[in-house]
Amino acid sequence: MSESVYVSECLSRAEKYAELLPQLYSLTADEPELVANLANVSAALKSVFGFFWVGFYFVKGEELVLGPFQGPVACTRFPVSKGVCGAAATRMETVLVPDVDAFPGHIACSSESRSEIVVPLVAAGATRLVLDVDSDLLDDFGPEDQQGLEAIIAMLGKIHFAG
């Protein structure tokens, strides 16, 4: 089992996701503890891409509750009906927000966050958790991030929520 990740800084973002995914699989596939794997995925994404904030919220009843993350202290819990995270959880699809100030109901855990992407993990017809990535740059996320982050969430879904 590899307990480190290495991705060259010279690559494009899409290439970085492609290099990172198999390394994340090696890091997480044999570990049954979900929180441990989410913690390492957060750390890997933060270190490879330098995003402002990377982390997970668990769906707990009608609320989203903070899980493992990397970055500044964040909102601990909020209703699943609120925010970009809530939109992704309830729509059961990725929500990409180029300008958080233009998203009605955006929850500003940090005033430095300018753009955001949230990917839900859906299993057996329900959203179990969301992966939230914030940037301090406007319009910082594109299709390569959506594809790369959705692949990571699909991998975590297979490891922890299959069957």
Convert residues 20-59 into a mask of x (bound to ligand SME by CB under 6 A) and - (unbound): ---------------------------------x------
DSSP category for residue 54 = E
Note whether 117 and 140 are within 8 A (CB).
Answer: no
Q: Is 74 in the site for ligand SME (CB under 6 A)?
A: yes
Tell me the three state secondary structure of residue 122: strand
Q: State which of positions 125-144 bind ligand SME (CB under 6 A).
A: 132, 134
Strand residue runs (E) in the chain: 53-60, 63-70, 77-79, 95-97, 115-123, 126-135
> Which residues on neighbouring strands pair with residue 18, listed in sequence order?
none
For ligand SME, the binding residue among 109, 121, 131, 152 (CB under 6 A) is 109
Which of the stretches 7-15, 35-43, 108-116, 140-148 binds ligand SME when contact is defined by CB under 6 A?
108-116
> Which residues of the shown chain bind ligand SME in the complex (CB under 6 A)?
53, 74-75, 83-86, 106-107, 109, 113, 116, 132, 134
